């Protein structure tokens, strides 16, 4: 299996500095700063990158679980919300909440929920987060 890489650079102090990141594939890159991360400023931040990774991984893994069940999905849309909060003297990522909407034929909600929950503990990114933050799931058939 391949090892994926990304890089980041930061220039200046914490509150007045600025950073940028690039992923080796060339399509993921952006700029970030203190206000884009901890306030409402323009730019990217590490938490949205984690949310994107979780949403992408979960959608792909759920597709695999549904396909294995004999009920491949027509479409899965996952939105992930990654929350960073002040904890003690520092900051911590506390919660990752997934909102999943899936179009799947020939499956009842109970079976869908079973597969959706199993995916939450089974996808590789979720496994990396396990025990480090609270994972929440709202999965619905459409």
Q: How confident is the model at residue 27 (pLDDT cuts 50, 70, 90)?
A: confident
With H, G, I as helix, E, B as strand and everything else as coil, classify residue 130. coil
pLDDT surpassing 90 at residue 61: yes
Q: How confident is the model at residue 117 (pLDDT cuts 50, 70, 90)?
A: very high
| pLDDT tens by residue, 48-60 | 999 999 999 999 9
pLDDT surpassing 90 at residue 1: no
Q: How confident is the model at residue 25 (pLDDT cuts 50, 70, 90)?
A: confident
């Amino acid at each position: 299996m391949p090892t994926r890489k990304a890089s980041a650079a930061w220039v200046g102090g914490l509150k007045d500095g600025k950073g940028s990141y690039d992923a080796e594939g060339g399509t993921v890159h952006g700029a970030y700063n203190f206000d884009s991360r901890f306030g409402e400023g323009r730019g990217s931040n590490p938490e949205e990158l984690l949310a994107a990774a979780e949403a992408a991984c979960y959608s792909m893994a759920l597709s695999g679980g549904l396909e294995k069940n004999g009920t491949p999905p027509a479409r899965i849309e996952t939105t992930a919300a990654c929350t960073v909060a002040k904890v003690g003297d520092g900051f911590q990522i506390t919660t990752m909440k997934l909102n999943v909407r899936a179009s799947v034929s020939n499956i009842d909600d109970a079976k869908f929920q079973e597969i959706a929950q199993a995916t939450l503990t089974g996808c590789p990114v979720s496994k990396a987060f396990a025990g480090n933050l609270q994972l929440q799931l709202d999965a619905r058939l459409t």
